[in-house]
């Protein structure tokens, strides 16, 4: 078995999907988990990108169906988490409007992130290192701070935190998981980026979101493809078992091997 075959098997990606069947399966998955966990709904951070938009659509369908079927109120809480002024925050709100999300909150992370960065810089001085926190380091603080706020809300509202992780991120280790933070449930995990887009088209994700370059918003101008040097088209084709260029394949496989710790449970002894 080739490494490509092993990766596809491990991540559970299908070469072809039926978007409507995948939506139904993933909505049912969310509903079952909410009922088993005894929680009152789902929390999804809406970044304005396609992954969180699709996850929002799935969550809203799940909680609407649960409310109708049980007679109890189940909530999908949309969380907007800008760092200061977010130029594309309108896309996040457009997603909420598209799916009729009535429960929404905004947690601006700028002050918390800047304070953490300042404390780290002070601590570095104590060991003789005078410098600002690196761009990547501060970007990771942003991601982790967002998770802290999400879990604070989820705890008090008895919600599950939904992750937007999918196979195209898992293969590169480019997602909030082990080593970065965590989530409670990941309804997109066996889809590649191309397949997420297929679900988006059926769910009715706004066009402005569909047209955006994928980004984790870690710093101004950051995009996933530029940061990794791998296109999502090549990434998705690889996960569908197709042949891509040797250069792209080598980059993907190297990244996969390098980031195994982000896909595996935390080791102990």
To the nearest whole percent, how much of the chain has pLDDT over 70? Answer: 93
Neighbours of 131 (CB within 10 A): 8
What's the token pair of residue 208? 């402005």
**Which residue in 51, 165, 224, 234 is the catalytic one?**
51
pLDDT mean over 67-78: 98
Q: Which helix (H) or strand (E) holds 152?
A: helix 135-157
pLDDT of residue 256: 93
For the chain, give the mean pLDDT.
91
pLDDT mean over 93-112: 97
pLDDT of 267 higher than 70? yes
Question: For the segment 179-216, what is each residue's pLDDT rounded down to a tens digit?
Answer: 455 799 999 999 999 999 999 999 999 998 988 766 66
pLDDT mean over 135-157: 93
To the nearest whole percent, how much of the chain has pLDDT over 90? Answer: 77
Neighbours of 60 (CB within 10 A): 24
Q: Which of 103-117, 144-158, 179-193 has the lowest mean pLDDT?
A: 179-193
Q: Which of 48-52, 190-194, 197-201, 264-268 has the lowest mean pLDDT?
A: 264-268
Q: Rounded distance, CA 202 to CA 54, Å?
A: 10
Closest CA to 8 of 235, 261, 227: 235
pLDDT band at 75 (very low <50, low <70, confident <90, very high): very high
Told to judge if 156 belongs to the known catalytic residues of this protein, a careful annotator would answer no
pLDDT band at 60 (very low <50, low <70, confident <90, very high): very high
pLDDT band at 228 (very low <50, low <70, confident <90, very high): confident
Q: Rounded distance, CA 95 to CA 45, Å?
A: 11
Region 3-108+160-262: CATH code:
3.40.50.620
Sheet of 160-161, strand order: 103-106, 75-80, 41-45, 160-161
Told to judge if 169 belongs to the known catalytic residues of this protein, a careful annotator would answer yes
Cβ contacts of 149 within 8 Å, gap of 6 or more: 79, 81, 107, 109, 112
SS3 of 224, please?
helix
What's the token pair of residue 122? 């002070």
| Cβ proximity of 163 and 185 under 8 Å | yes
Q: What is the pTM of this model?
A: 0.91
pLDDT of residue 179: 47
CA dihedral 19, 24, 26, 27 (to 10 degrees): 130
Instruction: For the chain, give every domain's residue range.
Output: 3-108+160-262
pLDDT band at 129 (very low <50, low <70, confident <90, very high): very high
Residue in the structure block whose two tokens are 């980004």: 215
pLDDT of 136 higher than 90? no
**Which residue in 22, 165, 169, 224 is the catalytic one?**
169
pLDDT band at 177 (very low <50, low <70, confident <90, very high): low
């Amino acid at each position: 078995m080739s490494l490509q075959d092993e990766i596809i098997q491990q991540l559970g990606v299908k070469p072809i999907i039926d978007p409507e069947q995948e939506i139904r399966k993933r909505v049912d998955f969310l509903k079952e988990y909410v009922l088993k966990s005894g929680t009152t709904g789902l929390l999804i951070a809406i970044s304005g990108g396609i992954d969180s938009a699709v996850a929002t659509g799935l969550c809203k369908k799940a909680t609407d169906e649960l409310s109708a079927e049980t007679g109890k109120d189940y909530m999908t809480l949309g969380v907007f988490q800008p760092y200061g002024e977010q130029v594309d925050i309108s896309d996040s709100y457009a997603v909420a409007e598209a799916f009729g999300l009535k429960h929404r909150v905004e947690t601006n992370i700028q002050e918390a992130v800047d304070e953490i960065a300042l404390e780290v810089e002070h601590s570095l001085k104590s060991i003789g290192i005078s410098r600002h926190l690196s761009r990547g380091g501060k970007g990771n603080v942003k991601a982790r701070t967002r998770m802290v706020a999400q879990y604070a809300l989820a705890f008090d509202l008895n919600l599950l935190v939904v992750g937007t992780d999918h196979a195209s991120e898992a293969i590169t280790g480019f997602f909030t998981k082990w080593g970065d933070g965590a989530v409670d449930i990941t309804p997109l995990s066996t889809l590649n980026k191309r397949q997420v887009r297929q679900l988006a088209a059926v769910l009715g994700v706004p066009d402005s979101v569909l047209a955006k370059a994928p980004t984790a918003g870690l710093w101004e101008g950051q995009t996933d493809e530029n940061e990794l040097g791998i296109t999502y088209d090549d990434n998705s084709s690889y996960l569908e078992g197709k042949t891509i260029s040797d250069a792209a394949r080598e980059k993907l496989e190297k990244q996969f091997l390098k980031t195994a710790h982000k896909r595996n449970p935390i080791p102990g002894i």
